Structure 1
């Protein structure tokens, strides 16, 4: 049985995102036609391109649905009045596609304005959870805690 990864990503992108980037992102989300040239990764070495962040169906290996949404953040404009793009992705990624998907995540994060925590990756095999943390030089996957060493903080209103 193959492992899968539960990928969650939530970032803001600049209001003036270059049109070629916006077109490719919309295609990756399943919201548009494939542009003539893809820059997000070397798709040919992976057998050809696919819509890595297409959503709208039940997750293959995790509870809930794979979803993706790109909208303008009209309710929280930048200080200059411009409206950033707000992106949220939740995708189930097969272990064979994990490397290329993380290449695409890296490409996307080069355009993001969000710093610090931007999401997580959960492994179906080991149950390991890693935070996605964006910084000026790229991003890191940071282990939450070793499996089995959970710190519980009770929260009950029942």
Structure 2
């Protein structure tokens, strides 16, 4: 049995995203043809590039669907007055592909304006969940610790 990661990202990207980055992002989401040059990862070390965030199907390892959505956030202008790009991604990542996908996440978060929590990782081999937290100098993957006070809601 293979191990997988459940990756969820919710992030706003710069309103002035360069056309080359936007084209590559759309390709990664499965919404465009491949650009002539890919900057998001060292694809040669992985054999060939693939659309890591293409979704719209049931996840084969986790409940729910793998999906991705990129829209303009016209109701929430950025400090420069432009409309940032709002991106949400939920995808299942095979353990063997984790390294290249995290390279793509790093490239993506370099384009982001969101600070703080931007997503989570869940590992199929355990109940482990980690937060993805973006800051000015990069991002961290932070272990989630059990808290003493828990909210419990029972359905009747």
Is the shorter-chain TM-score for this pair beyond 0.5, marking a shared fold? yes
Structure 1 residue 154 corresponds to structure 2 residue 128: no
Q: What CA deviation, in whole Å up to 9, does each residue of 1:39-62 have, x standing for no partner?
A: 001101011100000011000100
**Unaligned residue ranges in structure 2 (runs of 5+):** none
Q: What CA deviation, in whole Å up to 9, does each residue of 1:15-67 have, x standing for no partner?
A: 11000000000000000010000000110101110000001100010000000
- Tell me how far apart the structure 2 counterparts of residues 142 and 111 of structure 1 sit (CA, whole Å): 21
1:79, distance to aligned residue in structure 2 (A) = 4.5
Correspondence 1:30-41 to 2 at 5 A: 30-41=30-41
Equivalent position SS for 2:37: coil
The answer for the alignment partner of 2:105 in structure 1 is: 105
- Tell me how far apart the structure 2 counterparts of residues 80 and 44 of structure 1 sit (CA, whole Å): 37
**Which deviates the most, 76-85 or 95-104?**
76-85
The answer for the alignment partner of 2:129 in structure 1 is: 129
**Unaligned residue ranges in structure 1 (runs of 5+):** none
Structure 1 residue 118 corresponds to structure 2 residue 118: yes
RMSD: 1.4
Provide closer, same or farther for how the CA distance between residues 39 and 79 of structure 1 changes in structure 2, counting only shifts above 3 A. closer
Correspondence 1:11-26 to 2 at 5 A: 11-26=11-26
1:125, distance to aligned residue in structure 2 (A) = 0.5
Equivalent position SS for 1:99: helix
Q: Runs (4+) of structure 1 moved beyond 2 Å? A: 78-81, 149-152, 155-158
- Tell me how far apart the structure 1 counterparts of residues 80 and 24 of structure 2 sit (CA, whole Å): 26
- Tell me how far apart the structure 1 counterparts of residues 21 and 147 of structure 2 sit (CA, whole Å): 40
The number of equivalent residue pairs is 155
